[in-house]
C-alpha cells in the first residue's frame, strides 16, 4: 500500500514513466521482439494517443503501461509506483483503485446485464452503493433505459458505451483505451469517442489511447508513433483539437 500513496504536490512526478521498455516473446523456434527500448513520460491529466499500424506493438505497450503484463526489460512507473516491483496482488489493487480500461472488443461479460457489468469494478473496489453509481454512469452515457439488457441485446456502439461507463465508474486516475472505435462504424465511432473525451475532461483523467485512427489521435494533446516496436514522438502539436 505504501508505494501507492499519492506523491506530494511539490515533487509531482509524471503519471506514467516508461524507461527502456523491451518486450520479447519466445516462439517455438526463435524469439520475437515486439517492443524495443521504449521511453515515455506522460503527465497528469494529459491525453496521449499512440498511433501505429496493426501489429506494430500498440496493444503490447498499453498492456505493459497498465501493468497487465511485465516487460522483459525496462521499467514502468505508474502514479509513483514501480510496477515491476509490485506483486501481482498489489498490481491488481493498483488497477482497482487507479486504472480504467476500454477495449477494442468491449470485453463485457455476456452473462451480465449492462448494469451488472458496470457494477463489477465497483464491487471489486468495495465501493459503497455500487448500483446507484453504476446507474448514474449508464444514464450519463445515454443507456439509462437499457440497464437490464445483456451485451447480446446491445449494438456494438452501445456495448462500447457500457464499457466506457464501466471504465469511469471507479473514477480512475488513468484510463487506457485500446482502439476504442476499432470495431465500430464511423458515425458510431465518432459518438463513442466524443463520449470518451467528454468524460475524460469531466473527471480530469489521464488518458492513454491506442488507435490507428488519425482523426481520433488528433483529438489528444500528444501523439506518439509506433513502428516495428519503436516509439517516436513527432513534435508536439500544442493544444488538442476539440
Ligand X SMILES: Nc1ncnc2c1ncn2[C@@H]1O[C@H](COP(=O)(O)OP(=O)(O)O)[C@@H](O)[C@H]1O
Which residues contact Mg ion by CB under 5 A?
59
| Binding partner of 123, given ligand X, Mg ion, another protein, none, CB within 5-8 angstroms per partner class | another protein
Q: Report angle CA 157, 159, 162 to the nearest 5 degrees.
A: 115
Name the residues that contact ligand X, by CB under 6 A: 25, 32, 34, 52, 54-60
CA distance 194 to 241: 12
C-beta of 25 vs 109, nearer to ligand X: 25
CA distance 135 to 233: 39
In the set 34, 38, 57, 95, which binds another protein (CB under 8 A)? 95
From the list 78-86, 100-108, 136-144, 197-205, the region that binds another protein by CB under 8 A is 100-108
| Binding partner of 70, given another protein, Mg ion, ligand X, none, CB within 5-8 angstroms per partner class | another protein
From the list 32-40, 55-63, 139-147, 232-240, the region that binds another protein by CB under 8 A is 55-63
| Binding partner of 9, given ligand X, another protein, Mg ion, none, CB within 5-8 angstroms per partner class | none
String of DSSP letters for 89-127: HHHHHHHHHHEEEE-TT----TTS-HHHHHHHHHHHHT-
CB 2 within 8 Å of CB 53:
no
CB 134 within 8 Å of CB 165:
yes
Number of residues that bind another protein (CB under 8 A): 42
Integer angstrom CA distances of residue 163 from 37, 203, 220: 32, 16, 20
| Binders of another protein in range 201-240 (CB under 8 A) | none
C-beta of 62 vs 173, nearer to Mg ion: 62
C-beta of 32 vs 109, nearer to ligand X: 32
Among residues 139, 151, 70, the alpha carbon closest in space to that of 110 is found at: 151
Among residues 170, 200, 203, 185, the alpha carbon closest in space to that of 48 is found at: 200
The answer to the question of residue 153 lying near another protein (CB under 8 A) is: yes
The answer to the question of residue 123 lying near another protein (CB under 8 A) is: yes
From the list 86-94, 137-145, 184-192, 211-219, the region that binds another protein by CB under 8 A is 86-94
Rg (C-alpha) for the chain, rounded Å, is 18
CA distance 200 to 52: 22
Give the interface with another protein as residue ranges (CB under 8 A): 59-60, 63, 68-70, 88-89, 92-97, 99, 101, 103, 105, 107, 109-112, 116, 119-131, 152-153, 155, 166, 170
Amino acid at each position: 500500500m505504501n508505494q501507492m500513496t499519492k506523491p506530494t504536490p511539490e515533487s509531482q512526478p509524471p503519471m506514467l514513466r516508461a524507461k527502456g521498455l523491451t518486450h520479447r516473446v519466445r516462439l517455438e523456434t526463435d524469439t520475437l521482439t515486439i517492443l524495443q527500448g521504449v521511453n515515455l513520460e506522460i503527465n497528469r491529466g494529459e491525453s496521449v494517443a499512440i498511433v501505429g499500424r496493426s501489429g506494430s506493438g500498440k496493444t503490447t505497450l498499453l498492456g505493459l503501461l497498465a501493468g497487465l503484463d511485465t516487460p522483459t526489460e525496462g521499467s514502468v512507473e505508474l502514479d509513483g509506483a514501480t510496477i515491476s516491483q509490485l506483486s501481482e496482488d498489489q498490481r491488481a489493487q493498483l488497477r482497482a483503485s487507479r486504472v480504467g480500461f476500454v477495449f477494442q472488443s468491449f470485453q463485457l461479460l455476456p452473462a451480465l446485464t449492462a448494469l451488472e457489468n458496470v457494477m463489477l469494478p465497483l464491487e471489486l473496489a468495495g465501493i459503497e452503493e455500487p448500483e446507484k453509481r453504476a446507474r448514474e454512469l449508464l444514464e450519463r452515457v445515454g443507456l439509462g433505459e437499457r440497464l437490464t439488457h445483456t451485451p447480446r441485446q446491445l449494438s456494438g456502439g452501445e456495448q462500447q458505451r457500457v464499457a466506457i461507463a464501466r471504465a469511469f465508474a471507479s473514477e480512475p486516475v488513468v484510463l487506457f483505451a485500446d482502439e476504442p472505435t476499432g470495431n465500430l462504424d464511423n458515425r458510431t465511432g465518432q459518438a463513442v469517442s466524443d463520449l470518451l473525451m467528454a468524460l475524460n475532461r469531466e473527471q480530469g483523467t489521464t488518458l492513454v489511447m491506442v488507435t490507428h485512427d488519425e482523426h481520433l489521435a488528433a483529438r489528444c494533446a500528444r501523439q506518439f508513433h509506433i513502428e516495428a516496436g519503436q516509439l517516436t514522438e513527432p513534435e508536439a502539436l500544442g493544444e488538442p483539437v476539440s
